Structure 1
């Protein structure tokens, strides 16, 4: 690798992972948490229905749980969403730097 190539390697995060890897990990974790929340709320709605003597269909309970989980996850997972947003910004910044470097190299050639 030339000196120029070495300068374009993005700096790694303090945890030793790249912003793209952190973004992927956080997105998977956030998605799994939200799905688990929907499942838990679905079971809770079905359980409350059974206690009340009402047979709630699973599809209806799932629809209600998705509607409830959206604002609830916005409140409960604020920190994780902020980390995802910062990871997206870091990945975007890295792409922008690579694109500018490529354009600069093409202009030199």
Structure 2
């Protein structure tokens, strides 16, 4: 069984992106980023308890979000690139469909 590769040669990118695969990719990326925030907030709360300091959950969550913003860009680069690629593919397909429709409405074939 041979593996299809897109024009840029990356085997991990799908050859054809649909709206459904785009939604799945965005959900996966969002859940990964959210999980990172939860893990960081938990680490802050339990790390502080380990040294005898009480950190409110809201404060830990805010710091978790602030730390997760740049960290998630680095850790989840492949997911982010997949989402960007699929957005570009879906957008290109929609633009092509719109252009085809415009051509048919003008009477061109």
Give the TM interval when normalised to the shorter protein: 0.7 to 0.9
Partner of 1:108: 107
Partner of 2:98: 99
Partner of 1:5: none
Partner of 1:25: 24
TM-score (norm 1): 0.82
Ranked by relative contact order (alpha carbons within 8 Å, sequence separation 6 or more), the top structure is: 1
Structure 2 residue 84 is matched with structure 1 residue 79? no
Please give the root-mean-square deviation of Cα atoms over the aligned residues, in Å. 1.5
In the alignment, the residues of structure 2 paired with residue 74 and residue 34 of structure 1 have an alpha-carbon distance, to the nearest angstrom, of 9
TM-score (norm 2): 0.82
Name the stretch that deviates more: 19-28 or 64-73.
19-28
In the alignment, the residues of structure 1 paired with residue 106 and residue 80 of structure 2 have an alpha-carbon distance, to the nearest angstrom, of 39
Q: Which has the larger radius of gyration?
A: 1
Partner of 1:89: 88
- Unmatched runs of 5 consecutive residues or more in structure 1: 1-12
- Unmatched runs of 5 consecutive residues or more in structure 2: 1-13
Q: Which ranges of 4 or more aligned residues in structure 1 deviate by more than 6 Å? A: none
In the alignment, the residues of structure 2 paired with residue 22 and residue 75 of structure 1 have an alpha-carbon distance, to the nearest angstrom, of 23
Counterparts in 2 of 1:1-80, with a 5 A limit?
14=15, 18-80=17-79
| Paired positions, count | 95
Q: As a proportion of its length, which structure holds more helix?
A: 1
Secondary structure at the residue paired with 1:108? Answer: coil
